Amino acid sequence: MATETLTLGKALNTGLRRALEHDQKVVIMGEDVGKLGGVFRITDGLQKDFGDQRVIDTPLAESGIIGTAVGLAIRGFRPVCEIQFDGFVYPAYDQIVSQVAKMHYRSQGKVRIPMVIRIPYGGGIGAVEHHSESPEAYFAHTAGLKVVTCANPQDAYWMIQQAIASDDPIVFLEPKRRYWEKGLVELDGPLAEAYPLHSARVARAGTDATLLAYGPMVRTCLDAATAAAEDGRELEVVDLRTLSPLDLTAAYESVRRTGRCVVVHEAPGNLGLGAEIAARITEECFYSLESPVLRVTGFDTPYPASRVEEEYLPDLDRVLDAVDRAFRW
């Protein structure tokens, strides 16, 4: 089985390349995705190899990008749209929630919208305003959209191909601070079947408490579990991978064994994904819980200036403090 060590960004690039090779109806479109290769170089080299009719530099108009992609999808193409930064998606929000999410339902199933909206999201890169937000709850709340996020190069490579092959519209969230982290990637074989697109996975086994996370916070939780193990506490880490539909089967099984659960995400806590996850865990695992489900999140403020973003973002110490609180009940 062919394997290669890739950064998460390069794994996405390789996955996009495979999708373009596999299906002539796949087109990539967005601001600076062609000659520049994207601001994070995720589409680097693709326009050179596949031409400017399949890797398309668009005007600076997110609503136009998504609206055009809707028309392409209706005509049988599989557009992959890049939103340059998370905070730039809002001009396209009307198109996404009013057209992309509703067209299949509105047409009584006659029209499908097989498109992917790639959004680099989250903080930790020292960026300026509107470049470090976590808008996942807006999209996960919208019926008709599917929302997924990768956390490592292996998932990045397979999940982007699975998303493009899907007949449903998918918001594909990419944790931008993890673009440069490396990992071993299996480039072929049965892994795509072993980890279907809309399924969670256990990233680290443990017995004492469960950490539920997705995207950029999976690495933070794995680091917290490593630190906790030095004190004799074994934490299980579950990477949710899919935010809509939520797959909590692995989470339920884990919490029933460990009895304690901490949910971690970068987005503000108020009405964030953590609230929904905590509610479902409580409903399904009530008699197994030794303490309430706790949340570690960003604060309920606009994303701060880069010089203080480390005070805002959940880190290893905040995660371990929540675990300690779970054991004090």
Quick one: tokens of 246?
Answer: 């939520």
The three-state DSSP-derived secondary structure of 204-272 is ECCCCEEEEECCCHHHHHHHHHHHHHCCCCCEEEEECCEEECECCHHHHHHHHHHCCEEEEEEEECCCC
* Exposure on the CB side of residue 233, measured as CA atoms within 13 A: 19
Burial of residue 199, with CB atoms counted within 10 A of its CB: 0-12 exposed, 13-18 middle, 19 or more buried? middle
Burial of residue 16, with CB atoms counted within 10 A of its CB: 0-12 exposed, 13-18 middle, 19 or more buried? buried
Q: What is the DSSP letter of 179?
A: T
Burial of residue 76, with CB atoms counted within 10 A of its CB: 0-12 exposed, 13-18 middle, 19 or more buried? exposed
22 is catalytic: no
Q: Which of 131, 141, 198, 265 is catalytic?
A: 131
Phi/psi of residue 294, each to 5°?
A: -105, 155
Quick one: tokens of 158?
Answer: 């397979």
Quick one: tokens of 182?
Answer: 């490396």
| Active-site amino acid positions | 131
